[in-house]
Chains A and B, each alone.
Chain A
Amino acid sequence: MNPDTKKIQFSEKAQQEIQEILTHYPDKRSALLPVLNLAQAEFGHIGEDVMVMVANLLDLTPPKVYEVVTFYTLLNEKPVGKYLIQLCRTLQCALAGSENILGHLQQKLGIRVGETTQDGLFTLRTVECLASCGTAPAMQINGAFYESLTREKLDRILDDLKRGAQPTLKPMGQN
């Protein structure tokens, strides 16, 4: 099927959530960021088809959606791997050796920053400060924090994910 003509739609559950979100604001446009976050959770990334659908849903012109999607770094316009690794590169993590962690990650995954492994499992990105400076170096995988990283810890995390473990959300200092 031509992806341009494929009708893309939110799940029933997401549609209910959107109805709830709309009650939070006096203005439909305010629901844009929450709805885009929801869209990314549903569809993995926000392509043009999703942008047009969201625009129609919120009575916006597509450019109003596009300009927002391109502004916020957590919104992906292109597909990413099953696990999106976002390693902090900012000073506080760099002081704790994040350059070494990055080198190890690139070597271990066989990819460079911005790339995805051939099996589609891992995408590697560097990001700015994650508010994890007291437990540096730190990264997030699909939104879950992994902190106080060492090469050994990194090996364990990647092996676990390859074996099918899911990233788990935990408070600061506990992952």
Chain B
Amino acid sequence: MKYEKVLHKNLETPGYTGSLADYERLGGYQAIRKVFKEYAPAQLTDLVKRSSLRGRGGAGFPTGMKWDFLPKDPAITRYLCCNADESEPGTFKDRQLIERDPHQLIEGMVLAAYAIGARVGYIYVRGEFVHGARVLERALAEARRAGYLGKNILKSGMDIDIHLHVGAGAYICGEETALLESIEGKRGLPRTKPPFPATHGLYGKPTVINNVETLSNLPHIVNRGAEWFTSIGSPPKSPGMRIFSVSGHVNRPGNYEVPMGIPLRELIYEHAGGVRGDKKIKAIIPGGASAAFLTEGSLDVKLDFESIAQVGSMLGSGGVTVMDEDTCMVWAALNLMEFFAHETCGKCSPCREGSSWLVQMMRRIEHGHGRMEDLDQLVRICGGIAGKTVCAFGDAEVAPILSTLKHWRSEYEYHIKEKKCMVGNRGGSLVTIGGH
């Protein structure tokens, strides 16, 4: 199926450079004009609530509701932060939105800042996005010169400015309170909640943190209305378009903007061109490394928040990774466990200690030195981490092991009994066990 593009419309237009002139030519910055003329801030929040837009960063929290949690007293300073710390393995949609259509994001941020009454916004962009940061700096300067940012925007009396804050390599800074700590010049250690950022955020002030894709949706909701938005995707709870990043063993990996709720099978076989070499699918991660692995049996699940949750995983960041029948599930789970062990911030003992225990045990099994009792021990350790930490990282890091153990326990047992891999393929490179 072909769908009308929304967030990708500009960047898929031939010759589109992402400059201010190009963005304006295709209708850019009309949403700000419309809002300043027709909407009070509370009315804009109401519009976004009626659209049922949900966060595109991972948690899927309703955006308008998040804004509404802020205290109503306009005398209190408040902040807007854009989470552009895209680091969830399998996810690369925000990078493209930043690099190719930065003004769409900036217009979205001006709208969000207007709704919540913030005069300052920060874009927290991960340090690896060196090119993306340059694109954003240039776009912010253009927007300032054109009067879309700064003092008295479009003579509305509104002062809104946006600054870029470049990170320096830390997955955890995508967790919203760690992101705030990082902007404050500290280690990115998540805060204990409550209090939530809506009341005690950046510098202790009410703060909204929204993802790049979430904010990029706002100009379109303003221009076309809440009814239009809820008419696409999977209403009432998961309306709108969604950008899925497809990676792994598919013929055409890439970012695909489709209505929320299309079947997983359609995304993989129609949009991403099916599996390389016409092999069978063994496993799919539907929402970034923090989401549980699914089997081929889940291919007909709808790609919306509720349907994915019903099959025991999560839509998360929209990072869909496909693994073919030759992929070793122990190897795949170990790889992601190593990721989490590297990225744990170290604040909570269960996560800090547990992640390194899990890596050690997984390495032992992968390298042919595992014991059968390790399998129950893995589950016990995972149980000691999930739900026992300050942030959701603890729940995320146990997903690869628990889900692969659930669906492919025989592969673990084969590794332990036969001291070798059942399929032998480690992502295209044949390596004998214990070889590294």
Contact = CB atoms under 8 A, between A and B. Distances in A.
Contact of B127 (A32, A72, A172): A72
Interface string B103-135: 000000000000000000010001111110011
A129 B126 CA distance: 12
B175 to A, nearest CB: 14
A34 B164 CA distance: 10
B335 interface: yes
Contacts of A33: 165-168, 182-183, 185
Contacts of B187: 67-68, 71
Contacts of A134: 92, 245-247, 253-255
Quick one: which of A90, A100, A135, A136 has the most chain B CB within 10 A? A90
B228 interface: no
B109 to A, nearest CB: 15
Given A26-B203, A136-B253, A143 B339 contact: no
B429 A100 contact: yes
Interface stretch (A2-10, A91-99, A114-122, A154-162): A91-99
Interface residues of B, number: 63
B200 to A, nearest CB: 15
A139 to B, nearest CB: 11
A4 B214 CA distance: 49
Contacts of B342: 128
Contacts, number: 172
B91 interface: yes
Contact of B91 (A24, A58, A133): A133
A131 B169 contact: no
Contact of A130 (B128, B254, B345, B428): B128
Contacts of B134: 169
Contact of A99 (B86, B89, B127, B426): B426
A34 B169 CA distance: 13
A27 B186 CA distance: 12
B367 interface: no
Contacts of A29: 184-186
Contact of B427 (A32, A68, A97, A130): A97
Contacts of B186: 29, 67-68
Quick one: which of B90, B127, B168, B171 has the most chain A CB within 10 A? B168
A21 to B, nearest CB: 9
A31 interface: yes
Contacts of A26: 203
B165 A140 contact: no
Contacts of B249: 95
Quick one: which of A30, A68, A91, A132 has the most chain B CB within 10 A? A91
A32 B100 CA distance: 29
A172 B323 contact: no
B99 interface: yes
Quick one: which of A58, A72, A127 has the most chain B CB within 10 A? A72
A91 B335 contact: yes
Contacts of A31: 185
A171 interface: yes
Interface in B223-275: 245-249, 253-255
Interface string A19-45: 000001111011111101100000000
Nearest to A100: B429
Interface string A40-69: 000000000000000000101000100110
A36 B90 CA distance: 29
19 contacts: A25-B183, A33-B168, A67-B187, A73-B169, A73-B170, A75-B168, A90-B336, A91-B289, A95-B248, A95-B249, A95-B321, A95-B428, A132-B92, A133-B253, A136-B247, A136-B253, A143-B130, A171-B99, A172-B96
